[in-house]
């Protein structure tokens, strides 16, 4: 599965890299080192014929849901069963999107302990994951949400988990995003292909607490910070968790 990721690339860089307009609400985007379900994050869609980065909430909420709570159980969608589940089948034909990230996390079990691992390209560049989106109407208003599609893990990632997100490469983005294309070659796109240039490395166990969201998370426990790097700021224990509908 994919339950945490990071996005520290600036909005300007994302816009240039993916040739996308930017929703003004994303101007407040700050570096995120610990993105968790229910967070509102940039998603790439096609709107009026143009690519556009827009803020959506992680955890798909179908239009027929009674409330938003179902979203926390629908952060991922298995590629093998998309056609079987109503919540995903309709979205696959009409509401595909790309989730923009520059690293994803997975936990590796060693005995009784688990260590989070960062999966990212060596040069740190952002990449896109296959996703679906939905629009829900209710209290507190209209909310747009997304889910990340997963597939079987490739050989490199299987020691961490039996699932991994579906990576959509540059050559396939146009096909995936095209709202006029009701069918896509899902079987091909969801193949557990190798990710060339990707490195897996341990990071801090502090990642397990969603309140922690600082650059220090990228350093493995027990590894000293570089001499010229300032220590990450400490967050007060009493600091409240941000509201689910707050942007960033």
pLDDT at 223: 67
* 176 neighbors 133 (Cβ within 8 angstroms): no
Report how far residue 84's alpha carbon sits from residue 82's, in angstroms, rounded to the nearest whole number: 5
Catalytic positions, please? Answer: 2, 106
Dihedral pair phi/psi, residue 237, rounded to 5° = -65, -25
178 against 226, higher pLDDT: 178
Q: What is the pTM of this model?
A: 0.89
Report how far residue 150's alpha carbon sits from residue 76's, in angstroms, rounded to the nearest whole number: 7
Six token digits for residue 94 = 């009409």
82 against 222, higher pLDDT: 82
pLDDT at 224: 56
pLDDT tens string 152-205 = 999 889 989 999 999 999 999 999 999 889 889 999 999 988 888 999 999 999
pLDDT at 6: 98
**Pairing relation of β-strands 21-22 and 50-58?**
parallel
Give one word for 184, left, alpha or beta, with left for phi > 0 and alpha for psi -120 to 50.
Answer: beta
Report how far residue 68's alpha carbon sits from residue 144's, in angstroms, rounded to the nearest whole number: 10
User: Given pLDDT bands bounded at 50, 70 and 90, which one contains residue 244?
Assistant: very low
246 against 124, higher pLDDT: 124
* 121 neighbors 197 (Cβ within 8 angstroms): yes
Q: Provide CB contacts within 8 A for 242, sequence distance 6+.
A: none
Report how far residue 221's alpha carbon sits from residue 81's, in angstroms, rounded to the nearest whole number: 38
Report how far residue 210's alpha carbon sits from residue 16's, in angstroms, rounded to the nearest whole number: 30
Report how far residue 56's alpha carbon sits from residue 207's, in angstroms, rounded to the nearest whole number: 22
- Alpha carbon 120 to its chain centroid, in Å, reads 13
- Alpha carbon 111 to its chain centroid, in Å, reads 28
**Cα within 13 Å of Cα(49), Cβ side:** 0
* 248 neighbors 30 (Cβ within 8 angstroms): yes
Domain made up of 5-218: CATH architecture: Alpha-Beta Complex (3.90)
pLDDT tens string 65-89 = 999 999 999 999 999 999 888 889 8
Three-class SS state of 84: coil
CB-based contacts of 135-144 (< 8 A; 24+ apart in sequence): 135/63, 136/61, 136/62, 136/63, 136/65, 136/68, 137/63, 138/65, 138/66, 138/67, 138/68, 139/67, 140/245, 143/57, 143/61, 143/68, 143/245, 144/54, 144/56, 144/57
Which segment of 99-113, 135-149, 216-230 scores lowest on mean pLDDT? 216-230
């Amino acid at each position: 599965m994919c339950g945490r990721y990071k996005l520290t690339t600036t909005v300007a860089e994302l816009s240039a890299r993916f040739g996308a307009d930017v929703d003004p609400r994303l101007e407040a985007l700050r570096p995120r080192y610990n993105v968790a379900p229910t967070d509102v994050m940039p998603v790439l869609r096609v709107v009026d014929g143009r690519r556009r980065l827009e803020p959506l909430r992680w955890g798909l909420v179908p239009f027929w849901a009674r409330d938003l709570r179902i979203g926390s159980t629908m952060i991922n969608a298995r590629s093998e069963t998309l056609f079987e589940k109503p919540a995903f089948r309709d979205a696959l034909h009409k509401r595909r999107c790309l989730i923009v990230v520059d690293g994803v996390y997975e936990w590796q079990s060693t005995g009784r302990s688990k260590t989070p691992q960062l999966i990212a390209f060596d040069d740190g560049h952002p990449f896109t994951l296959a996703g679906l989106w939905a629009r829900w109407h209710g209290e507190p208003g209209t909310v747009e949400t997304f889910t990340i599609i997963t597939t079987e893990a490739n050989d490199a990632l299987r020691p961490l988990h039996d699932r991994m997100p579906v990576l959509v490469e540059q050559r396939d983005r146009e096909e995936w995003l095209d709202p006029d294309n009701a069918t896509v070659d899902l079987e091909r796109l969801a193949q557990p292909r190798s990710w060339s240039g990707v490195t897996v490395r341990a990071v801090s166990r502090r990642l397990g607490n969603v309140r922690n969201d600082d650059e220090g998370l990228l350093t493995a426990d027990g590894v000293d910070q570089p001499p010229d790097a300032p220590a990450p700021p400490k967050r007060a224990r009493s600091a409240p968790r941000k509201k689910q509908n707050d942007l960033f």
